[in-house]
Amino acid sequence: MIDPLVTAAREARERARATFSHFKVGAALETTDGRVITGCNIENATYGLTLCAERVAMFKAVSDGYDSFRRIAVVADTEEPTPPCGPCRQILWEFAGDIEVILANLEEEKGRYRMSELLPLPFDARLLSR
């Protein structure tokens, strides 16, 4: 059985704007109350202003008032799992903590991880307090 969160991420992937890389990614973020907020990667010509699917989903969720999350699914058309990049890991950690990360491709689920596995020594607000 396919996890509905993975299905939502696959559908979000179809809306990606990957004009330059042609590397489409979809993400689906689940809140603790069961709502699903999706995101897709959105590129531009400078690349530096490109946003990954995971950050789009997180920023949409936060801007809509959500602040408690259970898990996120990330889907790309790759044989191997495509984990969140460094900036996405940082954003996911800061806004969602040690949530579950489901990695999948267009055919199957490829793995489940905790954010603490993907970002074992995070920089966060704890380090800024005195």
**Which residue matches tokens 């939502």?**
8
As a whole number, mean pLDDT of residues 48-59 equals 96
Name which of 84, 51, 54 is nearest 69 in CA terms.
Answer: 54
Distance of alpha carbon 101 from alpha carbon 65, whole angstroms = 21
SS3 121: coil
List the 36-40 sheet strands across, edge first.
36-40, 25-31, 69-76, 100-104, 109-114
Mean pLDDT of the chain: 96
For 76, the token pair is 């790309």
Going from N- to C-terminal start, the domains of the chain cover 4-127
4-127 domain in CATH 3.40.140.10? yes
Q: φ and ψ at 12, to 5 degrees?
A: -65, -35
Q: Could you list the active site residues?
A: 54
pLDDT one-digit tens code per residue, 78-100: 999 999 999 999 999 999 999 99
Distance between CA 101 and CA 79 in Å, rounded?
Answer: 17
Planar angle of CA 7, 8, 14, nearest 5 degrees: 95
Given this model, what pLDDT does residue 47 score? 87
Q: What percent of the chain has pLDDT over 70?
A: 99
What is the model's pLDDT at position 92?
98
